[in-house]
Every structure is written in structure tokens, then in C-alpha cells.
């Protein structure tokens, strides 16, 4: 079937509008609450803590175990999420610092298996003064002012740009969780409710204004966030990141 020039022009214009609409939907979809569960934390006012093992050297493993332990200590678990990758023995992969003690050394290898080595990877850390940061692993050299740190990878956003190895057309989709630093210094935690690509997940953090963001893990990811009616308590993790609140002492 042949079309006259005006009709061809109209068809071309219609296709262009459809293309723009599709891309607009794509850009906005990653921030849709039906796709991304997010939580903003002020690290200087809220108590962010990293957990791996208890006083008896037993791994917390699940969010439920951590919740139970915290409540036994007369505290309240406000938020919890798996906090980075781990090896077959559930030891933290790469740098892990808890209460200013280095419990696992930094891994600056540039090649290896899995997303962790999709360099550059990075470190999410909290200084003793409560300020939170994310930096590429190669830029981490001193630990004396760090209270908590977890290394993971890959970086999602680097200096305001999506990781250069991510493709917008990628068909590799999974449940994913990560963390970013907002312009005001607050920490943005996020987990996808549905399977999405690394590019789509990175776009969420970039669109929120994060200059740097870090991938924490994939299909194993779970989040406990009762304020948004999301109460996953399972898991078999290495590191867990949580926000804990002290309960008021009864008068």
C-alpha cells in the first residue's frame, strides 16, 4: 500500500510522538512507587547501624533474627535491608567495618566473577560524625574516621553519571536493592518490587539527584519497612543495614 506525502508525514509524526511517550514512560516508571520501594534516612539524626554477627559470634542471617535481637535489647527496628554481597560462607565480600573495627579487608581487584567485579565497584560508609558517603573502591585508602562501611558493586551512579557498562536495552532483569547519597546528605535506600535492569535501577537514583549510588545485591534482596507496610523478615544474609530507635524508658 502506497501513501501520499502528507499521509506519510502524518504517520511519521505519529510514530515520533509514540516514541517520545514511550521514553517518557520509561524515564518516569523507575520512580513509580509500584516499582521501587524507597526510604530516605537522615544519618545525622537517625541511628544507622551495620550488623553481621551477635555477641556470641552467630550471624544474624535474617531480618527477623535481627528484629528479635533488637527488641530484646529494648529497641525498635525501624528499617532493615541486606547490606552487600557475601561469599559462600556468608562472610562480607570486600571491606566491612563495624563500630570502627575492620572485620573484612578491602578488595581492590579489578577482575573477577559476578556483579561485584563489574568495576568500578564502591563502598558505602558512615563516618564517626554521622555523615554518610559512597565512593569508588579505588578512592578508599583511610579508615580512621569510619564507623561503618560495606563494599559492594557495581556502582550505579558515579559523579552523577550512570555506570558506563550499563545498557538501556539490557534484558538482564532482577530484583535489586541499592543505596545512594542525596544532595542534602541524606541516604536513599531502594529496592525494586519487580525485576528491572541495572540501567533502570541506576536511573531511579540519578533522577532523584544522587551523585553516587551503589548496588547492594540482587534476587536475594529483602527490606523491612513497616512505615510503608512492607515487612519482609526472611533472608540468609551476611551484612544487614538497619535503622534502630531506642524505646522510651517507662516512667
Position 251 in a domain: no
Look at residue 230 and tell me whether its pLDDT is greater than 80. yes
Q: What is the mean pLDDT of the chain?
A: 89
Cβ-count burial 53-75 (b if 16+ within 10 Å, e if not) = eeeeeebbbbbbbbbebbeeeeb
Its domain, for residue 23, covers: 1-30
Q: Are residues 108 and 20 in the same domain?
A: no
Look at residue 102 and tell me whether its pLDDT is greater than 60. yes
pLDDT tens for residues 66-79?
Answer: 999 999 999 999 99
Look at residue 136 and tell me whether its pLDDT is greater than 70. yes
Residue 84 and residue 189: Cα distance in Å, rounded?
12
Q: Are residues 52 and 89 in the same domain?
A: yes
Q: Are residues 2 and 61 in the same domain?
A: no
Position 206 in a domain: yes
183: helix, strand or coil: coil
The stretches of 98-223 forming alpha helices (DSSP H) are 198-207
What's phi and psi for 222, nearest 5 deg? -145, 150
CB 185 within 8 A of CB 43: yes
Can you give the pTM of this predicted structure?
A: 0.86
CB 151 within 8 A of CB 107: yes
Q: Are residues 23 and 72 in the same domain?
A: no
pLDDT tens for residues 195-219?
Answer: 999 999 999 999 999 999 999 999 9
Q: Are residues 20 and 61 in the same domain?
A: no
Q: How many CA atoms lie within 13 A of 232 on its CB side?
A: 14
Residue 146 and residue 132: Cα distance in Å, rounded?
10
Amino acid at each position: 500500500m502506497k501513501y501520499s506525502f502528507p499521509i506519510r508525514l502524518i504517520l511519521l509524526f505519529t510514530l515520533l510522538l509514540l516514541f517520545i511517550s514511550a521514553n517518557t514512560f520509561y524515564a518516569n516508571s523507575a520512580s513509580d512507587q509500584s516499582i521501587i520501594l524507597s526510604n530516605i534516612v537522615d544519618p545525622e539524626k537517625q541511628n544507622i547501624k551495620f550488623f553481621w554477627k551477635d555477641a556470641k559470634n552467630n550471624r544474624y542471617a535474617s531480618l527477623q533474627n535481627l528484629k528479635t535481637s533488637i527488641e530484646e535489647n529494648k529497641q525498635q527496628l525501624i528499617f532493615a535491608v541486606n547490606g552487600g554481597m557475601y561469599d559462600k560462607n556468608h562472610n562480607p565480600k570486600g571491606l566491612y567495618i563495624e563500630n570502627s573495627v575492620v572485620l573484612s579487608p578491602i578488595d581492590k581487584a579489578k577482575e573477577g566473577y559476578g556483579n561485584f567485579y563489574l568495576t568500578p565497584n564502591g563502598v558505602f560508609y558512615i563516618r564517626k560524625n554521622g555523615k554518610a558517603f559512597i565512593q569508588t573502591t579505588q578512592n578508599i585508602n583511610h579508615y580512621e574516621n569510619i564507623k561503618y562501611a560495606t563494599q559492594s558493586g557495581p556502582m550505579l551512579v558515579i559523579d552523577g553519571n550512570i555506570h558506563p557498562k550499563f545498557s538501556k536495552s539490557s534484558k538482564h532483569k532482577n530484583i535489586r536493592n541499592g543505596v545512594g547519597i542525596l544532595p542534602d546528605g541524606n541516604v536513599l535506600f531502594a529496592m525494586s518490587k519487580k525485576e528491572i535492569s541495572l540501567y533502570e535501577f541506576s536511573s531511579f537514583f540519578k533522577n532523584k539527584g544522587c551523585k553516587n549510588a551503589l548496588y547492594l545485591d540482587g534476587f536475594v534482596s529483602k527490606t523491612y519497612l513497616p512505615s510503608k507496610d512492607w515487612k519482609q523478615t526472611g533472608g540468609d544474609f551476611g551484612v544487614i543495614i538497619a535503622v534502630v530507635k531506642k524505646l522510651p524508658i517507662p516512667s
